[in-house]
Every structure is written in C-alpha cells, then in structure tokens.
Amino acid sequence: MNLNCPDTVATMTFARRWRVAALCLLLPLLAASVQAQVTVTLELQKSRFLPRESMSAKLKIVNFSGQTLVFGEDNHWLQFQIESETGEEITPITDPPPVKGRFTVESSIRATKEVDIAPHYALERAGRYTLTATVHIKQWGKQLTAKPVKFDITNGTVLWEQIFGLPLKKGDPPGQPRQVRRYVLQQAKHLKAMSLYARVDDGLGGKVHRVLPVCPMVSFNKPKAQVGPQSNLHVLCQTGARKYNYSVIDPQGKIITRRHYLIAGNRPRLGFKDGKIIVAGGFQLTRPDDLPSNKKSGAEPELIVPGNEPKPIPNIRPPIPLPPKRTGN
C-alpha cells in the first residue's frame, strides 16, 4: 500500500509552507510586542563636543513587561556603535566601554545606565557622528536598539598651553620628572554662548587624558592661567559683566577647587603668597557648586523660625513740660 499518495504529499507541503509563512508574519509582531513591553532610550548631555571631551551617554530602560528583568551580568548586554557622516564605523581604540554591573529593573520601573564612552573612541576629526546603543535581554534572548543620537565634534580655539612635569611621589629619587604632560585652555562656541575648556594630554600627538568644561566665558577678556608648585592648573576666567570663576585642575584633569568672585572696588586677579597661588581682589561669593563644598557633609539644614510670641506694650509716659525760662529784670 502506497502511503505517499500525491494528494497527501501536496497537502503536507502546503501545510508546512503555511506554517513557515505564518511564523514569518508573527516574528515582527513578537518583536514589536517586546519593544512595547520594554523601551530603551539613548541620550547625550549635549550635541556638540570638543575632540576627546568626556561624553556621558545615558541609557534609560523602562519595563512594562510584568516581570523583573536582569541586566549587567556581563560586558555584552550593552553595546555602542559610532558611525561618521560618511557611514564609516569608528572602532574602539581600547576595549569597548565596560558596562558590567548587575542590576534589576522591576515592572513599571525605569532605570538609567550612564557610561563615558569618550576614552574608548578616537573622536579627533571634526564632523557629525551617529551613536547607537543595542541592549540584549538575556532572559528573552532578544535585542532592542535605541533610536540613534547625532552629535558633532568641533575644534576649539587654543588660548593658552603649558608643558609641566608630574610631581614626584614619596620615595622617588630627585631629578628629572618621570613624566611630562601639557595643559591646554580652549574656547568653543555653542548656541551663541562661549565656554572655556581644559585639556590634559601628553603633548602634541600624545595621549589625551581628559577634556572637560570649566565655565562660561566672555569674549572680551581672556582667562588668566598659572601652573602652581604642585603642578595644578589655576584658572581665573570672567564669566559675566562683574563675575569671575576661579578653578584649580589637577594633572588627572579633575577640578579640585571652584570659587566665584564679584568685582567689588577692584577686579579679582591671580597672585602669589606664602608659596601658593591665590586670588587677590574682588569679593568671594558662596554658591552651591563651590568645590570643596561649603556645606557640612550629612548636616541637616537649620530651620530658622522668627519669634511670634506677643511682646508687652511698652509703657510710654507723657512728656514732662519744661519750666519756663526766667526773663532778666
């Protein structure tokens, strides 16, 4: 008895093709369902950067799947991709940005992962670039891609530069410094506003350690800069009609001191006293972004309540009339 009759084979082939076609139609629907349950959004703090400036990328994950999702168990759950405006992929100069660090996102909860991607990509050439982030959901075996974000790399204008030697550490023999670095001050314009940036590198064509914004600046007065005895960079920059910013930057590119001054009688200026660089003149202001902070760590704000207790009405006596003056005889 022949079980493979032509009608049976044709029916089985048709059914198989129908299942394959149905599966192909369901896959996009399943992917759309995953995106509706979990959304990922990529953001940058601004759209214009200097070459090798710190670029903090924020990935926001919103979970409406009804279950708790786990991320960050390895360095592959989040991957970044950068392309130039010509479509050329910018490959990492080191390992991809480290993103390992386990965390969970419960249903109806939003989580944010922040990564500085600038140290891992050689973004030296001016132009427009596109940043894309892909998230792998290990529990589902699915990937989600955030909407790409465009940004520009622009060259700033060099205002000042100085080569310096790193200070010797305890126990190092005296002599020539072990390593030489360079401070560079640059200005850049964004949305009609001028900003001052500091760059710490190993010299022309050398390794860039950090590029960071210092403060806003005016165009009619260039900032003043000096390298102190501890190889720190002291910068005094006019930020407004009467305001100045004073910042101290260490050789690693970190702002360790920030103060604000106001023109009062005379202008603030950099001076030297007792072996230290100081700010002379002007009036020092107190602001929340001062470094180190003037606030006591862990101290609760003191609540000042005016006294509303009734005070006794003072007893006002009527004036005593003066005796009349005597007239001469």
Q: What is the distance between the alpha carbons of residues 217 and 220, in angstroms, rounded to a whole number? A: 9
Strand runs labelled E in 38-125: 38-44, 48-49, 56-63, 69-71, 78-84, 89-90, 103-105, 109-116
Is the Cβ–Cβ distance between 67 and 102 less than 8 Å?
no
Q: Is residue 24 in a domain? A: no
Residues 53 and 111 both lie in one domain: yes
Residues 165 and 140 both lie in one domain: no
In the chain, which ranges are continuous DSSP H helix? 6-37
Residues 209 and 245 both lie in one domain: yes
Q: How far apart are the first and last CA of the chain?
A: 167
Q: What is the distance between the alpha carbons of residues 26 and 90, in angstroms, rounded to a whole number? A: 35
In degrees and rounded to multiples of 5, residue 14 shows phi and psi of -65, -40
Strand 149-153 with 103-105, pairing: unpaired
**Preceding peptide of 119 cis, ω within 30°:** no
Q: What is the distance between the alpha carbons of residues 23 and 100, in angstroms, rounded to a whole number? A: 35
Q: Is residue 297 in a domain? A: no
Residues 117 and 163 both lie in one domain: no
Residues 163 and 262 both lie in one domain: yes
Residues 146 and 163 both lie in one domain: no
Q: Is residue 21 in a domain? A: no
Q: What is the distance between the alpha carbons of residues 181 and 251, in angstroms, rounded to a whole number? A: 8
- Domains of the chain: total: 2
Q: Is residue 14 in a domain? A: no
Is the Cβ–Cβ distance between 188 and 197 less than 8 Å?
yes
Residues 95 and 163 both lie in one domain: no
For the record, the structure tokens of 65 come out as 């799947």
In degrees and rounded to multiples of 5, residue 136 shows phi and psi of -105, 120
Residue 309 confidence (pLDDT) = 53
Q: Is residue 8 in a domain? A: no
Of 153, 186, 210, the residue at which a domain comes to its end is: 153
Residues 48 and 141 both lie in one domain: yes
Residues 130 and 64 both lie in one domain: yes
Q: What is the distance between the alpha carbons of residues 299 and 64, in angstroms, rounded to a whole number? A: 38
User: Domain holding 119: CATH number?
Assistant: 2.60.40.3880
Residues 51 and 83 both lie in one domain: yes
pLDDT digit of tens for each residue in the chain (329 aa)?
A: 444 445 544 455 555 555 555 445 544 444 444 455 899 999 999 999 999 898 999 999 999 999 999 999 999 999 999 999 999 999 998 888 999 999 999 999 999 999 999 989 989 899 999 999 999 999 999 999 999 999 999 989 999 999 999 887 777 777 666 789 999 999 998 778 899 999 999 988 888 899 999 999 999 999 999 999 999 999 999 999 999 999 999 999 999 999 999 999 899 999 999 999 999 999 999 999 999 987 655 555 454 444 555 556 666 666 777 777 776 65
Q: Is residue 313 in a domain? A: no
Tabulate helix, strand, coil % of the chain (nearest 5).
Answer: 10, 45, 45
Question: What residue numbers bound the domain in which 182 lies?
Answer: 157-169+176-285
Residues 165 and 128 both lie in one domain: no
Residues 58 and 140 both lie in one domain: yes
Instruction: Give the global pTM.
Output: 0.69
DSSP three-state, residue 263 = coil
Q: What Å distances lie between residue 55 and 28, 164, 241, 256, 293, CA to CA?
A: 34, 26, 30, 20, 25
Burial 27-39 (b: 16+ CB within 10 A, else e): eeeeeeebeebbb
Q: Is residue 308 in a domain? A: no
Q: Is residue 325 in a domain? A: no
